[in-house]
Amino acid sequence: MSIQADARRITAPEIQARKGGEPIVSLTSYHAHTARLLDRHVDLILVGDSLGMVMHGLETTVPVTVEMMIVHGRAVVRGTQRALIVVDLPFGSYEASPTEAFHTAARVLKETGAGAVKLEGGRRMAETVRFLVDRGVPVMGHVGLTPQAINTLGSFKARGRDDAEASIILDDARAIAEAGAFSIVLEAIAEPLARRITEEVAPPTIGIGGSPACDGQILVLEDMLGLGDRVPKFVKKYANLGPDIETAVATYAEEVRARTFPAKEHTYAPRLVDKPAKAS
């Protein structure tokens, strides 16, 4: 029983209960190895559709499929024991109707073992959020800069920097909160707006380019590790692994070409077999 208790995952209701309390620590992950490294330190891991750009070299998140999300979501769940795993619903898999969203969300939860899903959009998605929550699907909302809408937004610039747009985003957050989202991601919006949303909505807010007043923060793991060529202003690099990896690969290539790798300590000696004793 104690082993089961130690390994019990954080749940969506537990994240929801953190409103105004200890800040929620979140990062993205797309495969088991990095998820295992994150698991002891974070409360929530998002398998974001940003994997399309980070892992697959796509220009936007729009081409990402449900199957891609399931493959990566399943891997992250396998690599963790503690953190709540949230999987993005990709573009085109939930917008048409609440029923379509439920079928997609149910499949994602069943096939990955994740504990919640995330979808983008404000007032237009409130009915869908309510429909999912009423049917047992924990939903994380996402307002502000919504990357799946890049073809209509036109750019990845910050949102809510004028009164008119700020009012729209505030209404979006209120609608998602009232619909039952257990938390809301606030991406790339003006700091005073992120602070106001955090003060006014019931579920915890998780900022990514929002405000230190948010109830939690999230970054794309590869961005904060210095693995991306271009990162948004809101990213702080906690490491600079990109150049270190390239240096390591260059050194490896030189040693292979010079035949200094593998050295003796990296190879296996033959097994010695005892010869049978001669008869006297």
Q: For the chain, what percentages of helix, strand and coil (3-state, to nearest 5) are there? A: 40, 15, 45
50 labelled binding-site residue: yes
* Alpha carbon distances (Å) from 139 to 13, 64, 72, 129, 227: 11, 19, 19, 7, 29
> Which runs of E-coded beta strand occur in 116-274?
116-118, 139-144, 183-187, 205-208, 216-219
26 labelled binding-site residue: no
88 labelled binding-site residue: yes
223 labelled binding-site residue: no
Cα-flanking dihedrals φ and ψ of residue 143, to 5°? -130, 170
What span, in angstroms and rounded, lies between the C-alpha atoms of 50 and 141?
Answer: 16
187 is catalytic: yes
Helix runs in 79-187, H state only:
98-112, 123-134, 150-153, 163-179
**Identified catalytic residue from 22, 59, 187, 254:** 187
39 labelled binding-site residue: no
Sign, CA torsion 113/78/2/17: negative
Among all chains, which residue has been given the structure tokens 């938390």?
A: 183
Q: Which residues sit in the known binding site for 3-methyl-2-oxobutanoate? A: 49-50, 88, 118
Which residues sit in the known binding site? 49-50, 88, 118, 120
Active site residues: 187
